[in-house]
Each structure stands twice: as structure tokens, then as C-alpha cells.
Chain A
Amino acid sequence: MKIKMTINNVLKEVEVSPSEFLLDVLRRLDYMSVKKGCDTGTCGVCTVLMDGKPVLSCSVLAASADGHKITTIEGLRDDPEFKAISQALLDEGADQCGFCSPGLILNVYAMKRDLKNPTEEEMKKYLVGNLCRCTGYVPQMRAIKKYFEVRS
């Protein structure tokens, strides 16, 4: 079946099978920033924004993205918020293996819009679905807190 998605502000018409997940379609279209980590909607590395809201692309059927706006990290490269979040992570050395970074950054990006002056606990709860095995989360939280203090 054919669907239309606006991916990173570009309208695309894509042939998908009814059982295909958004994650696989995005990777097929070379949006390689969207990673595949767990197959069960648990790890958060496949996070993308759908109409601005974070979703797990491994759990969204591509067909249901028809007519929606999808944003991946590739679409945020010139966005000052993306630059600030990623720089904060880099400054703490919290990028490590980097596999979870794009998904985490997209969720932080959305959190910035959704939460006003969040506490650390609120931030952790918002980001709880973004797992990381390298950093122990603590340096990521240091970076995110710094980003919020400076930017908000």
C-alpha cells in the first residue's frame, strides 16, 4: 500500500506492506539515525517524533503514519535546541557508544516543550523509556540538567 508521510519536512510517498513497522520503513529510506535495539518497544533507541510527540517507531505500524509528520535526528541538525542538547551530552562524555543518543535527544527535545521547570524526578520519569547501558544515566542527567538550567 502507498502512504504519505512528511519526513523531516519533506513529503514522501512510500510503498509499505501492511505489516511493516515505521522503524523498518525509515531505515529502508536511509534514515539510519533510527536504531533497532529490542523489537519489543522497551529500549527507546528507535524513538522518533510523530507530529512532534515521541513514539517508538518499532511499535508503530508504518500504515498508521499515513498523513503524519515524522521527525528524526537528521531533521534537527540545524535546530539550536538539538545543538544545545547534544553539546551538553558531549561535554559530559555522556555520548559513549552513542547508540541510544538520537532516541534520547529526541525525547529530551520533546520534554523541553512538554514540561515547564521539571524536577529531576520528573525528567527521569519522562525519559524512563530511553535505556542506556554505557553511562549509568548519571552523566546523561548531568548534561540534561545543565541544558535545562541554561536554556529555560
Chain B
Amino acid sequence: MKEVKRPINKVDGYGLVSGQPVYTDDLAPKNSLVVKILRSPHAFARIKNINTEKAKSLEGVECVLTYKDVPRNIFTRAGQGYPEPSPYDKYILDEYVRYVGDEVAVVAARDEFTAEKALKLLEVEYEVLEPVLDFEKSKGSKSIIHPEKDYKSESFVSSDPKNNIAATYEMSIGDIEKEIEESDVVVKERFYTQAQAHVMMEPHAAYSYIDMQGRLVIVSSTQVPFHVRRILARALGMPIKKIRVIKPRIGGGFGGKQAIHGEPYVALVTLKTGKPAKVYYTRKEVFESTYTRHPMRFDVTIGADKNGKINVIDVRGLSDTGAYGEHALTTFMVAGSKVLPMYNKVKAVRFGGDVVYTNHPPAGAYRGYGAIQANFAIESAMDMLAEKLNMDPVKLREINMIRENETSPIFKIMGEGREGVDMIVRSCKLDECVEKGAKKIDWENKFKAKKEGKKVKGVGMAIAMQGSGIAKIDMGAATLKLNEDGSFNLLIGATDIGTGSDTILSQIAAEVLNVPTESIIPYSSDTDVTPFDVGAYASSTTYVSGNAVRIAAEKMKEEIIKAGAEYFEVPIEEVEFDGKEIKTKDNKITLQKLAEILYYNENQKQLSTTGSYVGDESPSPFMAGYAEVEVDTETGKVDLLNYVAVVDCGTPINPNLAKVQVEGGLAQGIGMAMYEEVIYDKNGRLLTNNMMNYKIPSRVDIKNLDVELVDSYEPTGPFGAKSVGEIGIDTPPAAIANAVYNAVGVRIKDLPITPEKVLKALKEKQN
């Protein structure tokens, strides 16, 4: 292999570091109207009246929109598969507002100053309603968040809006009660995970204009251009063919841009005024009015025999989807489907619960997507079980965890929103990850070391799995086009959001064609120009879109050979293509020369191929994470000294970029474990609505990350690759909680693990 497994620089890297204008707001036409959104000051209210006259009469204001001026088509903003697994519970603008930050009205003005002034001139009269601010009290509450008559969901989504339920899910294998009864040791515990903000560096941005054919063009910082086109068509009541969505460079997404946000508002302003319009969310808007991670509660029961063999795992969950049900069912199912199969030797397993509405900002997709929440609960409970068994937690995992060529019945039962697919885990080096990680952190000595003094060190670990795309639902496609100089355009619907996917997809094409990666010119993504791809989510790009690229490149190779055979007038069996030359026994021609002849001289035609791929399965990347912490027993402060991550992501196409994905994921997981906390006041107003109050880890907080990728090969992946986008985030919460327990004997069961909680627990322990 020449082009894959090689740590080449990102193809767009120089453009990014040298500050080229490549992101949405950099590219917006200078004459764009500036769109600003008036947002609700109440957690739950009905708009009785809006007076827009003063705003409209302000010089420079071109458009003011309220719910009376926009199409009333119910839709979901979640950018995921179709038919849609999220309930239809949202209008572009509505007379109800359901959280502090929900959209009330839209103004468009010639500049930002005027737009902001116009916002202040809007007069809104609200009927304030009783909000639901505690997700544990939402189900059946007398305040109903979605009373609208046209609320609906697809038949496979079990919504019950009258009881504030966005989705319910239940699955069960074996006799749970009997297995718990017969277990020698049982752990039964409750865990909570918090809302987490994405805090991608580039805020949400979009602009729109009407092209020369009268079509609506949206340029958006999105992970999912094709879903944006479909959702907008529904929301605006327009045919898909009238809309074009272009994705420029994206300044990070992490799931936060797997949805539509400002797009309908700029679109409507452009449709109403005929002028270009742009929106650039303030950081406050990003926090208050886009998405968070779904906060979840889990009741976990695990039963094992005295030798540590786990018989049964029973998980009861409750998830807070906030004011709208985006990704409600699917994140909840992933909490089960991407964690429970790790312990595939159980006799019985059950997973179920509700996803409820509250009057909080909506939860949505976020790296880890349910798996990280359940991983914290189950991997914490595993350590509690190990302690009861008086067994090393590493050994408990080794006895029970999934191994190569094994399966789990959960794969078939649980998909994302729907039934899953049966699969055998063809590549799984989880055992090697566990073993290597233990060695690297010096587990044997550190786990058993004496825990004394004011500052106490401890180690903890957790294992994790994720997926590679959504099997049998999500599709990616790629088109290759040969140019007359022998270079290739690679047109991909896949969306590079900073991961480097344009680069690794180019590497895959180059490897198949045996050409240097520099000969591949990638372009992603434009719904008019590039073939369909569901976009960047569910750790799918390398695996799903990568396979599509591989197929397109294999077809291109055949086309080149065919063109060579026609040129030399010999059967194709006698022709070879080595990346540079097309050869027969007696003759040869360079690819460049053949391309030139094909386009200018003889038998003229364009060589162009398209490959599509949808996974029959979703191979899991695996990881073992080991944390070493030092806890200050006088202040409760936890320092994360070192984090060892050993990852099986199959064969990395670009080892550098794969490693950075893990490192970036770890830092976000560490943030969730120790620092990041979404806090509301008693009226549901977000207090952590800026980057001073909402603390993501800084450079000083992240001390040492030690990432190793094990040698693994996934036979269904392109050149042995699986995904790596999400897996890195999953283990830090549980591993750090387990390390804190190992250090000072207190167990924090609700994230984040703050000094206050640790100190309080230490004090309680002393008493």
C-alpha cells in the first residue's frame, strides 16, 4: 500500500492555516441582508400578539417575519435518515415558544446594527405557561409541551405527546428476574449524565440567494447538506429540485451541525425579498438556541456469579430531549445498542425507557450519541461489581467482553430508530486494547498501590464500542472524473467538517488507482454537483463514503483499461493499468496521453464513474481507556495526570488524522467527565450561555494523552478501515469516575465530577 496507511498532510490544510476565506460567513455576498432572530425570554409561552410596525418602519429593515408570515408545515430539524426517526413537532415559527431562546420572529436589515435595533422594536405580548423544567417529572405532567394537532411521527416511532413523551423504547432477551435472582452478586445503581454543549469553534452560519434559474441556493455550515435540502423542501413547501445546498469548509460540528438551524430563516428572507441574506449565530445563540447532548438517567442492574461471569444486565433509562424531539429515539437506542453488545456472554439483557420533552433547549446529535451516556453508567457499574466480587476490574472485563468472530443478539434487535442488522464482529482487538492499555498505565502496580496522604493517585478504566455508519439506512456515493492531464476530480457528497475526510477519501481513490494522492482533486459537497451522501455523522465517512470511493475508483480502473483496449484494439484481458501507463504486451501509453487523446483526438468520450455504498453491517471500533488521576482530599480537586487510549479502528487510512480524531474525542470526553456543565436558573434560562461560564477544557487542563492504534483489519471496510470519529469520546467519564473511586473511595454517579461533588462525598464518607 502506497497511499493509504500514510500520514500525509490534509489536502485543504494550507488553505485553512493560512486563513483563506473558506467558511460560510467568509464567503457570504457583501450585499447580504443580515438576519437576526428574536428569541423567547420564557421557557414556555403562547404569543398573544406581536406588533412589528415599528421594526418594519425602521430605515434599512427589509423584512420582518412572524409565525403569521411563514409556511405552517410541521417538520423535524434532525438531519438523519428517511423516513425520519424523529417526531414532526416543529414549525419554522410558531405561536408557541417552548424554551428560553426559541424563535419568536425574524428581522432582516441592510446591516447588523440596524437588524439589532429592529429586534428591540418588536413588541410581543406573551401568555406565560407553566414550564416543565425537571425531566424526571415530565411524563404525565399537566403542562403539555406539544399540544398541536398536526404533531405526528412515523409508525415506527412511539411518541405520546399528551404525556410529554417524544419516544419510548423497550427490548428484552431472556428471563431478567430469574437471572438476577440466581446471581451470586448483584449491583443496582442509578447514574446521571448532563447536557453537554458542542462548542465547535465556528458558530452556526448560513446564507442564501436566488440563482439565475430562480432556484434557492443555501450555503451552510452543515454536516448534512442533502438532509438540509430535504428538510428545507418540507418546511418551506418547495420541491427538492428548486433547492441547492452547498457546504463550504466547516469549523467543527460534532453533531451540532447535523440539523438545520438558521437555514429556513435566511431562505424565507431571500424568498420574500429576492435578496441574498445571511445569518451568523452569536455564541449566546449557539448555547441557548441550538442543541445540547441529551441528559440521561440510568438505573443499571448487573448480576454475576461469584467467578465474575455476568448473567444479566438490566438498564432502565430516561432521556431529556428538551423542547423538540430531535434524535430522541435514536440517541436513546444507541445508548443500548452501542454499549450492551460489549458484554455478549450474558443470559439475559433488557433495555428500555422514555425520552421526554421538557422546556429546555433541544437536545440533538452529539459525538458519542447516547453511547457515551450509557457507557458512563454501565462501565461505572462494572467497577462496582468488580469491587463486590473482590476482582480486578480489568479481569472482570476480560472474562465478559466481546471478542473477534463473536456476535451479540442485540445487533439484530437494536438499530438506530429501527431494527438492527445481524452481524459477526469480524475485527475486534478489544482484548489487545485492554492488555496494552493496562501495561502502558502500569495498572498492576498502580491499581494496588497504597492510597494515602492529602493528594492521592488512582487509576481507572473503561471499555467502549461504537459503530461505522448506520447499516442498511445510510448511503454514501462518490463520482470520479478523469481529466485530460491524467488527474481525477473526486466528487463526494460526504462532508468534511474538519476531520480530514476529503484527504482520506482521496487517499482511498489514489490507492485503488495506484496514483499519488496529489492526482486526486476532491470536492465536497454541493447537492447540485456531488452525488448523494447522508453526510458526516454516525462515524460513517471513512467506512460508508470510503467504500463508495473505493467502488468508484475500481470502476474507473476498469474504464481506463477498457479505453486502453479500444485504443490498442486488443481484448481488455490483454491490458494492464499500473497507475501511470496503460500497457499491452507490445505497446504502452501514459494515462495522461490516453486522456488527452480521449478528450481531443480519437473515439472521444469522458471517463466518469460513480460508486454507491450502504453498509450491510456497522462494524464497531473498540477502545480501552485508562485514566490516572490525583485527587486532593482537602479540596476535592481532581487532576487528570494521564490518559491512555488504545483503539481498534481497523486499519487507519491516515494514521495522523485517525490519531487526532481520538485525541480530540478524548478531550471532549474529559470535558464531559470533569468540567462541562449546562446550568439553568429556576425559570429555565441558561446561565452557561457563553464560553466564560461554560468551561471546555483548555490547553492547561489536558495534560497527557497517550493514544495508540492497534493493528487491526476490518474485511468489509475500505483497505481494512473502520470508523474513528466518535469512539475516542466514550471512555473518559467512566474511566475517570472509576479512577477517582480507586484513589479516594468515593463514587460520583452524576457528571461532571466536580471538586464540590468529590469533597462532599469525601466528607460524607468520613462521617
Given the known A-B contacts A86-B17, A93-B656, are A137 and B283 also in contact in the complex, defined by CB atoms under 8 Å?
no
Q: Which of B10, B15, B199, B707 contacts A93 (CB 8 A)?
A: B10
Q: Is the CB of B691 within 8 A of A136?
A: no
Q: How large is the interface on A (under 10, 10 to 19, 20 to 34, 35 or more residues)?
A: 35 or more
* Interface flags, B695-735, vs A, CB<8A=1, else 0: 01111101011010000000000000000000000000000
Chain B residues near A35: list those with CB within 8 A: 23, 201-202, 251
Complex-state Cα separation, A100 to B19, whole angstroms: 10
Tell me, yes or no, whether B666 is within 8 Å of chain A by CB: yes
* Interface flags, A58-101, vs B, CB<8A=1, else 0: 00000000000000111001000000001001111111111111
- In the complex, which residue of chain A has the Cβ closest to the Cβ of B285? A39
Complex-state Cα separation, A97 to B495, whole angstroms: 12
Shortest Cβ distance from residue A149 to the other chain B in the assembled complex, whole angstroms? 18
Chain B residues near A97: list those with CB within 8 A: 16, 200-202, 249-252, 497-498
Chain A residues near B22: list those with CB within 8 A: 98
Given the known A-B contacts A95-B13, A138-B705, are A36 and B498 also in contact in the complex, defined by CB atoms under 8 Å?
no
Given the known A-B contacts A39-B282, A39-B284, A40-B691, are A96 and B664 also in contact in the complex, defined by CB atoms under 8 Å?
yes
Interface of B is mostly: loop
Complex-state Cα separation, A27 to B699, whole angstroms: 27
Tell me, yes or no, whether A12 is within 8 Å of chain B by CB: no
Q: Is the CB of B691 within 8 A of A92?
A: no
Given the known A-B contacts A95-B16, A97-B498, A135-B664, are A39 and B690 also in contact in the complex, defined by CB atoms under 8 Å?
yes
Q: Which of B17, B498, B696, B699 contacts A141 (CB 8 A)?
A: B699
Given the known A-B contacts A40-B691, A98-B16, are A93 and B7 also in contact in the complex, defined by CB atoms under 8 Å?
yes
Complex-state Cα separation, A36 to B13, whole angstroms: 20
Q: Which of A36, A45, A102 contacts B17 (CB 8 A)?
A: A102
* Interface flags, A99-140, vs B, CB<8A=1, else 0: 111100100000000000000000011011011111111111
Shortest Cβ distance from residue B20 to the other chain A in the assembled complex, whole angstroms? 8
Q: Is the CB of B659 within 8 A of A93?
A: yes
Q: Is the CB of B667 within 8 A of A38?
A: no
Interface of A is mostly: loop
Q: Which of A42, A86, A128, A141 contacts B18 (CB 8 A)?
A: A86
- In the complex, which residue of chain A has the Cβ closest to the Cβ of B670? A136
Given the known A-B contacts A37-B203, A91-B9, are A99 and B18 also in contact in the complex, defined by CB atoms under 8 Å?
no
Tell me, yes or no, whether A3 is within 8 Å of chain B by CB: no
Q: Is the CB of A102 within 8 A of B19?
A: yes
Complex-state Cα separation, A72 to B26, whole angstroms: 15
Q: Is the CB of B498 within 8 A of A98?
A: yes
Complex-state Cα separation, A132 to B698, whole angstroms: 8
Shortest Cβ distance from residue B83 to the other chain A in the assembled complex, whole angstroms? 32
In the complex, the 10 A-B pairs of residues with the closest C-beta atoms, listed nearest first: A33-B19, A97-B498, A98-B16, A99-B251, A136-B667, A32-B21, A93-B656, A136-B663, A73-B19, A42-B691
Please, could you name 27 A-B residue pairs with CB atoms under 8 Å apart, sorted by A?
A: A32-B21, A32-B26, A34-B19, A35-B251, A37-B203, A43-B201, A43-B691, A45-B201, A73-B17, A86-B17, A92-B656, A93-B656, A95-B16, A95-B17, A96-B664, A99-B23, A99-B201, A99-B498, A100-B201, A131-B696, A134-B201, A135-B664, A136-B665, A136-B666, A136-B705, A138-B663, A138-B702
Residues of A with Cβ closer than 8 Å to B? 17, 30, 32-40, 42-43, 45, 72-74, 77, 86, 89-102, 105, 124-125, 127-128, 130-141
